[in-house]
């Protein structure tokens, strides 16, 4: 309720719960701010984590039932800043504190996306460290950005049968093996089979490198291990990565995730899971 209504304090939450029928159902005479604070700080985040995963599983079930199945899974992270004075446990720079939400978002279609898996760490944790935790479905196509580029892991993912498309850093060294023809009306400028990396640190597998122009006219280098799709399809898949940016924006603007009700690590994690639960309930109602 607090997430969806945008309540900024436990007092505001407590006032909204002064309802005879609700109190009767819950078996409470009253729900005070101190009770809410205590529960938020004491409850094991694993409980809410299980609830979140259960809701994501229900959405997946409806996804199959409705015949909507586009196994496109977008991986990214977002840092949620915290006040260093009150959250010393989350310090990551001299004057800053924060937690990082590492997320896997399932893209069903342009109208429906949902969070499927998440890891919450302090903000100093590198994105790459969480990639293996978030990649576990061989039936999916994974999409992620330059922060996850790791040649050794790209080789391992390919050897293990995982498919992905990622943006490659501008200064990445490549060795061309073969160049494919590009249709005149395609948005891709070039389409090549390459090895990535220098002589000392190079991939063992060959990958496909596409140079495409984005909507702002910038040239993007996309790397993938899919050779069966055309250049337009690869470009379109990467374009859907924007959905996770919109998701993080929604999370920060509409469920008051910037305003935390508690200061402990437990309280912060519980509130993030409650926000994800609120989002999943929205998706279930839509479906």
DSSP string, the chain: -HHHHT--SHHHHHHHT--HHHHHHHT-S---HHHHHHHHHHS-HHHHHHHHHHHHHHHHHHHHHTT----EEEEEEEEEEE-TTT-GGGB-SSS-EEEEEEEEEEEEETTEEEEEEEEEEETTS-GGGGHHHH---TTSEEEE-GGG--HHHHHHHHHHT-EEEEEPPTT--EEEEEEE---TT-SEEEEEEEEEB-SSSB-SS-EEEEEEE-TTS-EEEEEES--SS-HHHHHHHHHTTHHHHHHHHHHHHHS-TTS-S--SHHHHHHHHHHHHHHHHHHHHHH-
- 4 and 67 together in one domain: no
- 269 and 140 together in one domain: yes
Classify residue 156: in a domain, yes or no. no
Domain finish residue from 222, 238, 254: 238
* Mean of pLDDT values over 19-38: 85
- 246 and 140 together in one domain: yes
- 134 and 260 together in one domain: yes
- 139 and 100 together in one domain: yes
Classify residue 194: in a domain, yes or no. yes
- 141 and 267 together in one domain: yes
Kindly state the tokens that stand for 236: 């379109």
Percent of the chain with pLDDT over 70: 96
* Mean of pLDDT values over 68-91: 85
Grade residue 160 by pLDDT with cuts at 50, 70 and 90: very high
Q: Are 102 and 42 in contact (CB under 8 A)?
A: no
- 106 and 230 together in one domain: no
Classify residue 161: in a domain, yes or no. no
Residue 1 has what pLDDT? 81
Classify residue 155: in a domain, yes or no. no
Grade residue 66 by pLDDT with cuts at 50, 70 and 90: low
- 61 and 121 together in one domain: yes
Classify residue 205: in a domain, yes or no. yes
Grade residue 256 by pLDDT with cuts at 50, 70 and 90: low
Q: Residue 159 above 70 pLDDT?
A: yes
Residue 257 has what pLDDT? 67
Classify residue 140: in a domain, yes or no. yes
Q: Residue 67 above 60 pLDDT?
A: no
Grade residue 29 by pLDDT with cuts at 50, 70 and 90: confident
Classify residue 109: in a domain, yes or no. yes
Classify residue 202: in a domain, yes or no. yes
* Mean of pLDDT values over 65-86: 80
Name which of 233, 277, 224 is nearest 255 in CA terms: 277
Residue 73 has what pLDDT? 95
Residue 255 has what pLDDT? 62
* Mean of pLDDT values over 244-258: 79
- 245 and 233 together in one domain: no
Residue 142 has what pLDDT? 95
End-to-end CA distance of the chain, in Å? Answer: 20
- 201 and 174 together in one domain: yes
Quick: pLDDT tens for 93-109: 888 999 999 999 999 87
Domains identified in the chain, total number: 3
- 12 and 101 together in one domain: no
Q: Residue 65 above 80 pLDDT?
A: no
Quick: pLDDT tens for 258-282: 678 888 999 999 999 999 999 999 8
Quick: pLDDT tens for 203-247: 999 999 999 988 788 889 999 999 999 989 999 999 999 999 999
- 122 and 197 together in one domain: no
Q: Structural domain of residue 1, as residue ranges? A: 1-42
């Amino acid at each position: 309720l607090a997430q969806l209504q945008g309540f900024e304090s436990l007092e505001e939450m407590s006032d909204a719960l002064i309802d005879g029928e609700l109190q009767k159902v819950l078996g409470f005479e009253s729900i005070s701010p101190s009770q809410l604070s205590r529960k938020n700080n004491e409850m094991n985040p694993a409980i809410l984590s299980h609830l979140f995963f259960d809701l994501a599983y229900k959405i997946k079930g409806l996804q199959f039932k409705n015949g909507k199945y586009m196994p496109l899974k977008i991986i990214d992270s977002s840092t949620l800043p915290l006040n260093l004075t009150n959250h010393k446990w989350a310090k990551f720079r001299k004057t800053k504190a924060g937690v990082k939400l590492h997320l896997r978002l399932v893209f069903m279609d342009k109208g429906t996306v949902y969070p499927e898996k998440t890891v919450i760490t302090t903000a100093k944790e590198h994105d790459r460290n969480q990639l293996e935790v978030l990649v576990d479905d061989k039936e999916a196509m994974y999409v992620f950005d330059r922060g996850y580029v790791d040649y050794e892991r790209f080789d391992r993912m390919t050897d293990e049968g995982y498919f992905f498309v990622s943006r490659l850093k501008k200064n990445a060294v490549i060795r061309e093996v073969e160049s494919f023809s590009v249709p005149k009306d395609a948005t891709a400028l070039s389409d090549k089979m390459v090895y990535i990396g220098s002589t000392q640190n190079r991939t063992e597998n060959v990958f496909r490198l596409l140079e495409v122009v984005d909507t702002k006219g910038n040239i993007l280098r996309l790397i993938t291990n899919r050779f069966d799709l055309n250049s337009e399809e690869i470009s379109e898949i990467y374009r859907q990565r924007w959905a996770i940016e919109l998701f993080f924006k929604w999370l920060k603007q509409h469920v008051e995730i910037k305003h935390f009700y508690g200061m402990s690590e437990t309280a912060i994690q519980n509130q993030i899971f409650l926000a994800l639960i609120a989002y999943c309930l929205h998706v279930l109602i839509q479906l």
